[in-house]
Structure 1
Amino acid sequence: MNGQMRAAIVDRYGPPESIRIETLPRPDPRHGEVLVRVESAAVTSGDARLRAGRFPRGFALPARLAIGVRGPRHTIPGVVFAGRVVSRGAGVDDFAIGDRVAGLTGARLGAHAEYVAVRASAATLIPESVSSPDAAAALFGGSTALSFLLHRAQIGEGQSVLVNGGSGSVGTAAIQLAARAGAIVTALSSAPNHELLRRLGAAETIDYRTTPAASVPQRFDAVLDAVGNLRRADGLRLTAPSGSVILAVAGLWDTATARGRVIAGPVPERREDFATILALVASGDFDPLTEVIGGLDALPEAHRRIDAGRKVGNFVVTL
């Protein structure tokens, strides 16, 4: 396909101001891929960490060797998209031209652009009643929390869950999904967010500034750390004897040794999980907490707010 597109570029690790907007050739879909005209894309804490070259403990060297020593090899950032299919590669017959789709791009990134070529298997149809910004906002935190809490920890009716970092993308999704499954949720965040977290389903809220996660006196069936500041040992101390510690932002050692009661590692990008989350958005049972920041030119501002810890819910740029 001929043509050009505007896209964000990060080719050197650095501050938010290092993000540039350039005009690049439009990609062509390969076998098994669809080309999507991006309407909305999420801006996540993971995007900000990658831009800055900030990696979880122990991952700095292996991540730079795998991703890029001085900057990302895949220079267009962004992993969550929502838009319309404009062309299909060979072997794709489950989407039609014009279908509204959303999904994740994985390690290839590329969602912060006017067009992105993605595996058809990593995309799902957007329900008619769900807007593109809400679809993009819901998927990252929603699919992460769904995989960790419901698929792997198998949280259910009457169980207790502690969410450390309750106001971010993963935290707000975890509160909603756990509460919907019948769990009793305790959420840690700064006090100004407590009313919101109770509305989402938290039975109890704790101000982490006065009571850090490691100092919480209760014991839980599952502890989910969505921040990356909870040590494995503290997480295990906070759980009941058969409880699970979920390290959503784990260092290298914790990731490599996670087994049994400790859950860590990458989250699979499953179309059926995306469809589950979007169906909950459509039914009104999941609030994506969408904040549209602006267009591609607003990306530096979104990254500045993430770096400053001022992100509540999900940031989205619209194209």
Structure 2
Amino acid sequence: MKAWFARRYGGPDVLCLEDMAMPAPGPGQVLVRIHATTVNSGDVRIRGCNFPPGMKTLGRLALGWNGPRRPVLGTELSGMIEAVGSGVVGFAPGDAVYAFPGMRQGAHAQYIVLPETGAIAHLPAGLDVHTAAALCFSGTTALHYLGKADVRPGQTMLVLGGSGAVGMALIQLARHQGIAVTATTSAPNLPLVQSLGATPINYRSVDLARLGQRFDVVADTVAASDFATAQTLLNPGGRYLAIAGGIREMLQSLRPGARGTRMIAGPAAESRDAVIALGRLASEGHFRPHIERVFPFAELPAAHAHVDSGRKRGSVVVSVID
């Protein structure tokens, strides 16, 4: 089988397509033939050692000092069960599935072994493999932060970075929960953000400080703000979600702000229940990732370069099979 390796940190040029031994599922494990995966902000951050402020040393200690300790990147996928190990009862060869290896990674390959009890689920009817592959990274992040914010129907939320994968997931999942959403984006993406049910704002032409509107939640997906600024946009008791924050935000989140406001920061939990819920929400039409581009497996470094450019809208999918 073939897989893309990042054996050192750097740009997309560090990625090498190599042959590796076909893995075999052990007891309680399944072997998945990957049909599609994604390149997301987490992948390029690990590949480039581009961690949030204050997190570079911790990131290298956790992920590898001179290069990724797990050199085959990739956090999410869709595919088909190729084989199962002893004791597996929930899956059988031929089952269509989607999965979220998350920080275990390994999805930028033709095959992967996953635990049956991990973040893997049967593909709901009506979902294509590209959509299914893009469900989990953005979706689990959005569900995690919406849960931490304890959002309620009738509340209001401002999303900073509404046209990224996480921003779009937040808009859709918050709207499904009865939240009125306003979202910032660039002028070309205003119609896209509006089509998801949010009130769009061109961040280049509108000064949020002069907006004259306050929100129950400010969700910052692109590190465009900080807690001090966000407090001027929050209602009393409001929550600032520092989704792209680093160690500083994690430390600041330990202390409440003015008027009962608070900041929520830190990595999103990787939950099997969330993965299953996302499949259900997608099949019911409440959440669909916006897929901007699909790259062939042989051009995975080009997908990394596109995400690096900062001009990505929604999700970038890589088709692993022809």
Relative to the length of structure 1, the TM-score reads: 0.93
Number of residue-to-residue matches in the alignment: 313
Within the alignment, does 1:139 sit opposite 2:140 as a pair?
A: no
Identical pairs, percent: 40
Partner of residue 67, structure 1: 63
Partner of residue 51, structure 1: 47
Q: Secondary structure at the match of 1:25?
A: coil
Within the alignment, does 1:195 sit opposite 2:191 as a pair?
A: yes
Which runs of no fewer than 5 residues in structure 1 stay unpaired? none
Within the alignment, does 1:251 sit opposite 2:246 as a pair?
A: yes
Within the alignment, does 1:208 sit opposite 2:209 as a pair?
A: no
Q: Secondary structure at the match of 1:42?
A: strand
Partner of residue 115, structure 1: 111
- 1:155-304 aligned at under 5 Å gives the runs 155-202=151-198, 204-211=199-206, 216-259=211-254, 261-304=262-305
Question: What whole-Å deviation, never above 9, does each CA across 1:117-169 have from its counterpart, x for those lacking one?
Answer: 123221111102111110011221112111211x2212222111000110011
Q: Secondary structure at the match of 2:20?
A: strand
Partner of residue 121, structure 2: 124
Q: Aligned AA for 2:132?
A: A
Partner of residue 10, structure 1: 6
8 Å contact 1:6–1:24 — kept in the other structure? yes
User: How far is the alpha carbon of 1:248 from its aligned partner?
Assistant: 1.1
Question: What whole-Å deviation, never above 9, does each CA across 1:261-308 have from its counterpart, x for those lacking one?
Answer: 221222222222112222222222222112342222221211111111
User: How far is the alpha carbon of 1:257 from its aligned partner?
Assistant: 4.2
Which runs of no fewer than 5 residues in structure 2 stay unpaired? 257-261
2:155 and 2:109 mapped to 1: Cα distance? 42
Cα distance change, pair 64–86 in 1 and its aligned pair in 2 (3 A): same
2:236 and 2:82 mapped to 1: Cα distance? 52
1:131 and 1:16 mapped to 2: Cα distance? 28
Cα distance change, pair 186–110 in 1 and its aligned pair in 2 (3 A): same
8 Å contact 1:122–1:271 — kept in the other structure? yes
Q: Aligned AA for 1:305?
A: H
Relative to the length of structure 2, the TM-score reads: 0.92
The worse-fitting range, judged by mean Cα deviation, of 209-218 and 69-78 is 209-218
2:211 and 2:9 mapped to 1: Cα distance? 36
Within the alignment, does 1:100 sit opposite 2:101 as a pair?
A: no
> RMSD in angstroms over aligned alpha carbons?
1.7
